[in-house]
Structures are given as C-alpha cells and as structure tokens.
Amino acid sequence: MIDAKTLAVFIPTVLVLVLSPGPDMVFITANSLSSGKRGGVFSALGCTSGAFTHAVLAAFGLTAIVAAWQPAYEAVRIGGALYLAYLGVKMLLSKESPLGIRSTGMRKSGWRLYREGYINNLMNPKAILFSLTFLPQFANPARGPIWAQIIVLGMVLSAVMLAIEIPIAVTSGHLGQWFISRPKAALMLNRTMGAALVGLAAWVFQSRRFVH
C-alpha cells in the first residue's frame, strides 16, 4: 500500500518536523522534569495518540471540514492557545516545589498525564493543518484507498514520534532528579518552561491558517 520509496521520503521529513521545537516537545520535557521519566512517557503517549487521531480524522475528511469552516478552525485555534497559556501560567505562578517535583506518591497519575498530552496535541491547530496538507501528499490513488493510506501514514508518524519523544522523556526525567537537590536552578527552569508555553500560546493565538 505504501511503497519503500514513499517511506524513504516521508520518514526523514517527519523526523525533522518532530525534532522542531513546539508545544508537544515543551510539554513532554516539562512533565518529564516534574514527574520523572514516567510522566514524560505518559505525556508522549498522549501527544502521539492525539497525532494519530488527527490522521484518522484527516482520512475521513473531518479535518478538512474543520479547516474549511472558519468558526470551527478559530475555536480550535483559540482553545489550543488558551490551553497552552493555562499550563504556562500555572507553571509561572506555582508556589509548590520547583518544577512541581513531588514525591512518587504525590505525582500526577499516568492517565492524567496521558490525557493532558492528548489534549495538548489535539487542540494544536498546526497539527490539524499538518494532517490535512502533509499526509495526503504521500498517498497514491493507484495504490489503494486514500483513507487507508493516510491511516497507515499516521501510524508511521506515531511510531517516529515515539522513537524521538520517549528518549527525550527518559533523559529529561533523569535530569529532573538532578534538579531536586538544586532548588534555585529548578525554579529558574520552571519559570523558563512556563514562559516557553506562554510564548507558544501567543504564537498559536496570532497564527493564521495557510490553507483555504
């Protein structure tokens, strides 16, 4: 269905895009630092699930409807920006231990981390436009149903995301342990990560779609 030549172009392109700084990367790193590698892994799984959901929606045309209908697109864009801003401000104003680092018993549940990661990706308007404009370019009508090819490409995308994001989550989780004994450095990083999320929120809020 998807030939080797197509994957040879698709996978390196996705690698570059996944490695680019964005809401998912900041979110996963922040949760890895605050909740350990476990927190980062659950966050990465949530973000990846969100990306695959976008692929499924694109396969059945629902993404195109959202992108074409201005009120729906604006609702997603503004909602995504507000969600990122909420997470960032929460980190900036937190009076808990730096980075929110807690003992094992006080950390967020895996389900909560997964859910937050899923929402973080699902509410990203750029992810919607990515699935709408990027994935279909690699589907060939001569090789079978377009919708099935897009879903397969979504699975490949998810696999690449996990291959990149889980090592980052594990590495950041180990780094978080180093910050536990260095509260001043942890506080500075906490503020930096919060500011980064607020900055991303502002970027999403002012962004305009590039498809019509």
Looking at residue 133, its amino acid is T
CA 191 to chain centre: 20
Give the pLDDT score at 180.
61
DSSP for 50-96, written as a single string: HHHHHHHHHHTTHHHHHHHSHHHHHHHHHHHHHHHHHHHHHHHH--S
Per-domain residue ranges for the chain?
Answer: 4-206
Based on its alpha-carbon atoms, the radius of gyration of the chain, rounded to whole angstroms, reads 18
Question: Average pLDDT for consecutive 10-residue bins of the chain (212 residues)?
Answer: 85 82 82 84 95 90 63 71 77 60 57 92 79 78 85 94 93 74 68 76 65 39
Q: What is the pTM of this model?
A: 0.70
Give the pLDDT score at 164.
92
Give the pLDDT score at 185.
66
CB within 8 Å of 63: residues ≥ 6 apart = 54, 57, 128, 131, 132
